[in-house]
């Protein structure tokens, strides 16, 4: 018997490009929704992203866009736009898009217009700078928001320049917030029989990710600073160089620091007034980091992992992507998989239901591969 996923029976029409909305669509598809991805005739931008590609499309497209019905419609074409409107009106529970500001309204795809004739529709728009304010009409991308939100200002080495996170945390985070909003709206529709207009934006997500830093500034005016692999409020809580790579060590309280000191062969550190409390270690960050670093440099990552984990010290190696993919823990989780033999392996949903992860989504298909299905789901009107 086929296991029913939580969103089985929900239909999503996704007019998307790049990363944030496709990531949201991917999550909804993995949760069981039937997702119709609408691309412009030239295709989603990520089909051309490099440097890695698979079967003619960028690897990023495969990561973010599996498991859909693939439509090619040009909303600038009157007939194609009419087809999209019909698909939403007759089939969609959810309409998801990340069109540039003002574009949805121009083509009648905004919530105000679509929900006049279909009030039960959940309309989800992913924007850039948000729906209000002087920048609301500007386009935006992940690195712009990491910069604007202050994230980049507190990311990087203490004596270096601002650094963007190596993955698109704002794009993917916004996709997640969009899904949370859609799920909440679907639940409200189930209870109150009314849809909703859900709005998420890259900037609001980035601001949310900087919540702790903003709270610190509001409390005492501290603007934040860069600590490399560490953080502003805990010491030690950073990477140290072993003889064959780096190891993250995290001591979130004084008891853990005492255990670390003993495991490193320096139990006297725990009684040293410079290091005995986290507040003292913050004042003497450079010195305690130097002392720990000198000890860690004498062994390999594996040697220190074994010793520290035996002592109950949270630690982890700084791995490369190949190391992560091949690690027995990653393999045991089964989170990297493919539905089709000979296809690229991609990351699945990081959730399980009743002890089982939703199955991997089918491979991507060419632009407009499912246009021929429109005739069956949108029969010709008399």
> What residues act catalytically?
171
> In the chain, what is the greatest distance between 2 CA atoms, to the nearest angstrom?
87
Report the phi/psi class of residue 46: left, alpha or beta, with left for phi > 0 and alpha for psi in -120 to 50: alpha
The answer to whether the CB of 357 falls within 8 A of the CB of 285 is no
- Contacts for 227-233 with beta carbons within 8 Å, 24 or more apart? 227/158, 228/156, 228/157, 228/158, 229/318, 230/285, 230/289, 232/154, 233/282
List phi, psi (to 5°) of 241. -85, 115
> 45-50: long-range contacts at Cβ-Cβ below 8 A with a sequence spacing of 24 or more?
45/17, 45/18, 46/17, 46/18, 46/19, 46/22, 47/367
SS3 state of residue 313: coil
Structure tokens at 244: 């064959």
């Amino acid at each position: 018997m086929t296991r029913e996923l939580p969103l089985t029976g929900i239909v999503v029409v996704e007019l998307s490009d790049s990363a944030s909305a496709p990531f949201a669509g991917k999550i909804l598809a993995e949760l069981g929704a039937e997702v119709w991805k609408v691309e412009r005739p030239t295709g989603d931008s990520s089909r051309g992203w490099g440097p890695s590609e698979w079967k003619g499309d960028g690897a990023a497209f495969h990561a973010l866009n599996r498991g859909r019905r693939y439509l090619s419609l040009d909303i600038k074409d009157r007939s194609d736009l009419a087809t999209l409107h019909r698909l939403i009106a007759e089939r969609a529970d959810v309409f998801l898009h990340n069109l540039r500001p003002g574009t949805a309204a121009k083509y009648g795809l905004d919530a105000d217009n679509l929900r006049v004739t279909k009030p039960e529709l959940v309309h989800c728009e992913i924007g850039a700078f948000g729906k209000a304010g002087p920048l609301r009409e500007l386009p935006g991308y992940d690195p712009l928001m990491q910069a604007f939100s202050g994230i980049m200002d507190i990311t990087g080495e203490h004596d270096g320049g601002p650094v963007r996170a190596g993955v698109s945390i704002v794009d993917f985070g916004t996709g997640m917030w969009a899904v949370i909003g859609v799920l909440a709206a679907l639940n409200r529709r189930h209870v109150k029989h009314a849809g909703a207009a859900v709005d998420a934006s890259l900037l609001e997500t980035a601001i949310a990710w900087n919540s702790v830093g903003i709270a610190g500034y509001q409390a005492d005016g501290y603007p934040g600073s860069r600590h490399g692999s560490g953080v502003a409020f805990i010491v030690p809580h950073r990477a140290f160089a072993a003889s064959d790579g780096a190891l993250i060590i995290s001591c979130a309280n004084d008891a853990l620091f005492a255990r670390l000191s003993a495991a490193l062969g320096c139990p006297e550190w725990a009684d040293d007034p410079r290091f005995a409390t986290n507040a003292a270690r913050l004042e003497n960050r450079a010195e305690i980091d130097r002392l720990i670093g000198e000890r860690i440099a004498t062994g390999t990552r594996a040697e220190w992992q074994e010793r520290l984990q035996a002592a109950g010290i949270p630690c982890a190696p700084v791995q490369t992507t190949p190391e992560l993919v091949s690690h027995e823990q990653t393999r045991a989780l089964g989170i990297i998989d493919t539905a089709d033999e000979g296809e690229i392996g991609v990351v699945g949903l990081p959730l399980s239901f009743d002890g089982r992860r939703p199955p991997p989504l089918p491979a991507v298909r060419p632009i407009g591969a499912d246009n021929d299905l429109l005739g069956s789901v949108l029969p010709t009107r008399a």
